[in-house]
Chain A
Amino acid sequence: MNQTLTINISGIVFHIEVDAYEALKVYLNTIKSYFNNSEEREEIMLDIEARVAEIFAEAQNDKNQVIVMADVNKVIAIMGEPEQYLTDEEEEIPAQKTHRKREDKKLFRDPDDRVLGGVASGLGAYIGLDTVWIRLFFVAAFFMGFGILTYIILWIVMPEAKTTAEKLKMRGEPINIKNIGKAFESEAQKVGEKLQNVDTNKFSSKAGTVLENIVMAIASFFTAVFNIFGKVLGIAFLFVGTFMLVVLLALLFGSTAIFSISNDGVYSMASQDFFNLIFVNQDQFYLASIAVFLLIGVPVIGLIFLSIRMLFKVRSHYSVGLTFVGLLVVGTILAFMVGTRLAVEMSAEEEFEKTEIISPDFNTYVIKTNITEMPGQGVLEDKFTSISIEGDMMYQRFVELSVERSKNDSMMITTNFSSHGKSPKDALNKAKAINYVHQLNDSILFFPDYLATNKEHKIRGQQVEITVYLPLYQSIYLDKSTKELIYDIDNFTNTYDKKMVGRKWVMLEQGLTCLDCDDIEGITSKELEELKALKMVE
């Protein structure tokens, strides 16, 4: 099987085999290079081409519709070798050329003898040194550090010897028909090899060396990997972005948004209600909504946009990016405005305390709470409901309980109410508005784990901190329900809050000490006797 080309000579179309075409091209180009006067040259070449077309046309019949090598050889036989075209006027010039042989050498890259770009073989041909030495030099230079750069620069600077004439110039050989013929033979051989490689070798158009093919294969492999990676990343971005956008829109405009499902449970926020509980008026609420949308929504939309670009390779106008930046700036300004307003609202903090003295009627008091649902509808929910509303009332789970040693012999419970506000007076009013009551039934102390205020007081960091003061040898039992209520209770064994519950603790000189733990530490024999007298231990 042979590849054919379609060519047009003097207005007549011929099908010609590739090797025949290459031969004809070399033949005509060589003839052309023999004529110096450009005006004459054009005309002469047209005449010659017309005659070639005529010979080809005669050679064609029903059986032979393709020009083959034999036809080209026939043309050369009829028309003569390029040298024979010369008349007296030109003859001097090629003669001169052979004299100027050395200077006529030109620096080309050799595409026929190459490892990478044919730089070494080209240099070798120019200097007249065997290519092996040049290659060794480059390898040495590579290890000295400048090899790669030098090679790349030379690769760029040196043109490739494409035509037969250029290849002869590269080697400094005179351009005459003997050399052309010689060069042409090896050329034709190469063309044949190239054609054989078409099926097996993807990169046959360059007919490169093994090394070059390996490099190109690796390069195309990485390109493919990067493309796939880009697509995967694009899809991931698209999913994440879309999800975030839905959450954001639900957050701003829906009644309840679930925005995280962790192992702690579902985390959700009734954003409308929540914002209403924070902001004094609707304007601020809207401003905040817009700010949140711009600051979170714009990057999210940007992410979606980016993913679409990665997936479909859509080019975007630079104004798109500019718009994104602009919107972000606007969002920042709005957030700053709302933030300062809110900061003013929260600027002052006030607190007051209530103290209750409890008669130590029991050796051990049980501290309990309820872990039931908060009243009303949850506004901010994580593991438990943090904030909920019912009618005009708002409930917040911001209650903490601590245990300390009493400074005297009595047992006391102090309740500290605190709140922020725009002025000390406002803050104090809000603190006083907190509705929080504990209960004492026999030996059971019951502390609710949420506080209540009227909705109109807004969320202003209202907090209730309870401290139970124990005298010496007074013990308490922390019910398991208080796990979330107690906060950083100092104790002798430095036991964590969450491990303190479900145990009995006694106040000793050294601090709160576990009574029913597996290993009771730090209790002196005197204290032990005292405890035994109180029948708290056996």
Chain B
Amino acid sequence: MNIENTQAQMRKGVLEYCILSILNNGEAYPSEIIEQLKQGKLIVVEGTLYPLLTRLKNADLLSYRWEESTSGPPRKYYQLTDKGKKFLEELATTWDDLVAAVEITRKPTKK
């Protein structure tokens, strides 16, 4: 059993939920999303994000619009679709359940 592997699995599991949560606060382009994810130490490199965003968009959870940039190529600004919002709500419920479940398991049983 590899500790790093297990950690990575756990992070990956919540990654999609976090991305959707970030976008629930307003539209953002990948670099902004990455900034927040990095703060939360959820990802360390940007490469991971691009395939995820593309898949979420292809699943109609996200949509994007182009915006010109002064310092480089035009940027994709992602935002949640209605479907994405519903998806996020369900994920939020699941997350709450998970947190509760984890809390329960962590409490020492008083028998």
A binding-site residues for B, Cβ under 8 Å: 9-12, 31, 35, 40, 43-44, 47-48, 50-51, 53-54, 56-58, 77-82, 84-85, 87-89
Contacts and interface: CB of A to CB of B under 8 A. Distances in A.
B14 interface: no
B72 A79 contact: no
Contacts of A79: 45-47
B7 interface: no
A263 B39 CA distance: 107
B4 to A, nearest CB: 12
Interface in B64-95: 69, 71-76
A525 B53 CA distance: 137
Interface residues of B, number: 22
B73 A11 contact: yes
Contact of B50 (A11, A51, A82, A89): A51
A345 to B, nearest CB: 96
B51 interface: yes
B15 to A, nearest CB: 8
B46 A80 contact: yes
B36 interface: no
Nearest to B44: A80
Point out which of A81, A84, A88 has the most chain B C-beta atoms below 10 A from its C-beta: A84
A8 to B, nearest CB: 11
A151 to B, nearest CB: 44
Given A40-B58, A80-B45, A87-B12, A47 B69 contact: no
Contact of A12 (B44, B48, B72): B72
Contacts of A58: 71-72
A84 B74 CA distance: 25
Nearest to B52: A87
Given A80-B44, A85-B48, A44 B54 contact: yes
Contacts of B72: 10, 12, 50, 53-54, 56-58
Contacts of B54: 40, 43-44, 47
B73 A48 contact: no
A438 to B, nearest CB: 115
17 contacts: A11-B73, A31-B47, A40-B51, A40-B54, A40-B58, A43-B54, A48-B47, A48-B50, A50-B76, A51-B30, A58-B71, A79-B47, A85-B48, A85-B50, A85-B51, A87-B51, A89-B55
Interface string B19-59: 00000000000110000000000001111101111110010
Contacts of B48: 80, 84-85, 87
Given A10-B72, A87-B12, 16 more contacts: A31-B47, A40-B58, A47-B30, A50-B76, A51-B50, A53-B72, A53-B73, A54-B31, A57-B71, A58-B71, A58-B72, A78-B45, A81-B47, A82-B47, A84-B44, A87-B52
The 7 closest A-B pairs by CB, nearest first: A80-B45, A80-B47, A54-B72, A10-B73, A57-B72, A85-B47, A79-B47
A159 B30 CA distance: 41
A57 B31 CA distance: 14
B74 to A, nearest CB: 8
B73 A12 contact: yes
B12 to A, nearest CB: 6
B64 to A, nearest CB: 10
A81 B44 CA distance: 11
A54 B34 CA distance: 14
Contacts of A78: 45-46
**Of listed B52, B55, B75, residue having the most chain A CB within 10 A:** B55
Contacts of A43: 54
B69 A54 contact: yes
A102 to B, nearest CB: 26
Of listed B31, B54, B74, residue having the most chain A CB within 10 A: B54
Contacts of B73: 9-12, 50, 53-54, 57
Contacts of B74: 50
A43 B53 CA distance: 10
A85 B50 CA distance: 8
B53 to A, nearest CB: 7
Nearest to A10: B73
Contacts of B46: 51, 78-80
Contact of B12 (A31, A35, A85, A88): A88
Contacts of A80: 44-48
A408 B48 CA distance: 133
Contacts of B50: 44, 47-48, 51, 85
A53 B58 CA distance: 24
Contacts of A51: 30-31, 46, 50
B14 to A, nearest CB: 13
Nearest to B15: A87
Nearest to B16: A87
Contacts of B51: 35, 40, 44, 85, 87
A50 B52 CA distance: 16
A53 B76 CA distance: 14
A40 B50 CA distance: 10
A84 B45 contact: yes
A447 B78 CA distance: 125
A80 B48 CA distance: 8
A43 B72 CA distance: 18
Contacts of A89: 55
Nearest to B46: A79
Contacts of A82: 47
Nearest to A43: B54
Contacts of B44: 80, 84
Contacts of A53: 72-73
A494 to B, nearest CB: 107
A54 B71 CA distance: 7
